Chain A
């Protein structure tokens, strides 16, 4: 009963490096989300995918790209990492975009 799985759990990048955060869900959900969480800022929506084949920008999309590879997987890419992208990243999925969301355990990313 995996739910939402994020990989990796921890990552340290140097400024300018690129990487992809992976997210997969096994609940046959249509909607998927990427958030970042910084101290005192709560969760901010980066990108979301209301259904397979669609992606939309959230509140803080700059510096990120996403791919909804299939119904199960939604990846987040940092093309050129910056220290301001140091954060905890959460992926979530939901049956539809206006129902309860299920969260992964997060990826703690540090950019030095």
Chain B
């Protein structure tokens, strides 16, 4: 089964509002990452937060990580129509020795209405 699970599956908001997406995962991780995918295209990395970090900012993005609850949230402030996309969380898990694998959740489809 997949490691990450995003919530909600779909989110529709008005331009200028904030969007919050959540991610829960199952096992210990080295880091958690968020990606964005515009329709039918490859994924683009947004932000990485390590397991010993609790919060990270990048422009209009704010990510939190709670390892005790195995959950993360992505906040996009002052959303724009151009933010319309699918957003995925991904976890880097140790798969033995110094090997890690990167597994993704099912994603949240964000629609920002002008």
Chain A interface (Cβ < 8 Å from any Cβ of B) = 4, 31, 33, 35, 40-45, 48, 50-51, 54, 56, 58-59, 88, 90, 92, 94, 96-106
Bound Cα distance A34, B107 (Å): 18
Report which residue of A31, A94, A100 has the largest number of chain B beta carbons within 10 angstroms of its beta carbon. Answer: A100
Cβ of B41 < 8 Å from any Cβ of A? yes
- Give the residues in chain A near B2, CB-CB below 8 Å: 42, 44, 59
- When A56-B101, A97-B99 are in contact, do A43 and B45 touch as well, CB less than 8 Å? no
| Nearest-CB residue, chain A, relative to B4 | A42
Q: Is the CB of B107 within 8 A of A56?
A: no
Bound Cα distance A63, B76 (Å): 39
Q: Is the CB of A54 within 8 A of B99?
A: yes
User: By DSSP majority rule, is chain B's interface helix, strand, loop, or mixed?
Assistant: strand
Q: Is the CB of B41 within 8 A of A48?
A: no
- Give the residues in chain A near B100, CB-CB below 8 Å: 31, 50, 96-98
B50 CB to closest chain A CB (Å) equals 9
List 11 additional contacts besides A50-B101, A106-B42; criterion CB under 8 Å.
A4-B42, A35-B104, A40-B106, A42-B88, A44-B104, A50-B100, A56-B95, A56-B99, A58-B101, A92-B43, A98-B31
Chain B interface residue count, CB cutoff 8 Å, equals 28
Q: Is the CB of A105 within 8 A of B101?
A: no
Cβ of B82 < 8 Å from any Cβ of A? no
11 example contacts (A-B, Cβ-Cβ < 8 A) are as follows: A4-B42, A42-B2, A42-B106, A44-B104, A50-B99, A50-B101, A98-B100, A100-B48, A101-B90, A105-B41, A106-B41
